[in-house]
Structure 1
Amino acid sequence: MDASQAIHRIIVCTLCRDPATGTRTGEDLCADLRSRLSADSEMALLDYAVEGIACMAGCARPLTVAFQAAGKASYLFGPIDRQTDAVELLEFAKLYASLADGWCNSGQRPAGLADKTLARIPGSNSAAGVGI
C-alpha cells in the first residue's frame, strides 16, 4: 500500500543493529510485516503501510517500531526482536486499528510488548489521558 494513502502506519528503524550480531534487521522486519499483512485477509483490510526510516533515536533499545495514524496516539516500541516479536506487532496492529483515538493501557497491549513500550504520544486531536 502507498504510505501516503494509508490510514495507519507501522514505522521501523532501518539503522538499528541487532546487539548480538551487529546486523541491521529493520528492512527484513519491514518485509516480514508487509508479507504477513497482505497474506491475512483480515489484516489486509486494516489499511496499514509499513515504512522503514533511518533512525527513531531508540538506539539504546534496538530495534524500534512505531505505530502512527492521524488523530490517534502514537506508540514507540523497543527493543524488538525481528523473529520473535512480529506476531505481537500484528496483534497490536489489530488493536490499534480498532481504537478510535489509539489510546490503550498496557494491559490491553499484547503481553510481549507490555515491557517494550518506550512512548505513547497523544494524537493531535485527542484529549485522552489528560489529567492522568
Structure 2
Amino acid sequence: MDLSKPRPVAAPPYSVAQTAPHQILVCKACKHQGQACAPGHALLKKLRAAIATAGLDEAFEVSGTACLAGCVTDHGKPCVVGWRATAKATWLFGDIDPNQPIDDLVEFARLYAAVEDGWMGGKDCPPRLCDNTLARIPAAMIVTREGTIQ
C-alpha cells in the first residue's frame, strides 16, 4: 500500500447514521456494474415494508448504504445485508435475492433484537441465512485512557 498517496475519507453515502436501536444495512451500490444496484434498491424497499408490517420498525432502521464488499461475482443476486447495533455483534449476509421471500430476514431481525449481545450460532439463524453468512463480527470494545467504552 502506497502511504504517500492521500486516502479517500469516508463521507456520505458511506457514513450511515443510526437513529434506531438496531440497523439493517442493504448494499445499494453494485461494484460490478459501476452504478446503483437495482436489486439492492428493490430489496431495500421490500425489507423496509416487511419490517414495518412485522411491527419491528421502532426497533430497526433499514438503510441503504454504499458497497458492503460482500458479493464476489455479478450473477444477478448481488445483495448483501448487514445487521448492527451498539454493543452487539455485527452480521453480514450475502447472495440475497430480492425476488425471493424475505421471511428469513425478518425472522433474523426478531432474533437479533432479542439477543442481548447479538451473538448467535449458525444453528440459531433461519436456515436460508446459515448458508449465506459472510461474517459475524464481535462488538467492538474500545479502551481509552479514561476506561473501556463501547
TM-score by length of 1: 0.80
Identify, as 1 or 2, the structure richer in strand. 2
Percent of aligned pairs with the same amino acid? 40
Q: Secondary structure at the match of 2:29?
A: coil
1:24 is displaced (CA, Å) by 2.5
Larger RCO of the pair (alpha carbons < 8 Å, separation 6+): 1
Task: Give the superposed CA RMSD.
Answer: 1.9
Extract unaligned runs of 5+ from structure 2.
1-16, 142-150
Contact residue 27 and residue 67 of structure 2 kept, 8 A: yes
Match of 1:99 in 2: 115
Post-superposition, which runs of at least 4 consecutive aligned residues in structure 1 deviate over 6 A?
none
Task: Give the structure with higher Rg (CA).
Answer: 2
Match of 2:72 in 1: 60
Match of 1:128 in 2: none
Query: 1:7-44 deviations in whole A, cap 9, x for unaligned?
Result: 100001002389xxxx6211111111111111223x23
CA distance in 1 between counterparts of 2:109 and 2:50 reads: 12
Letter in 1 for 2:69: A
Q: How many residues align?
A: 117
TM-score by length of 2: 0.71
Mapped pair 1:37 → 2:64: no
Q: Secondary structure at the match of 1:91?
A: helix
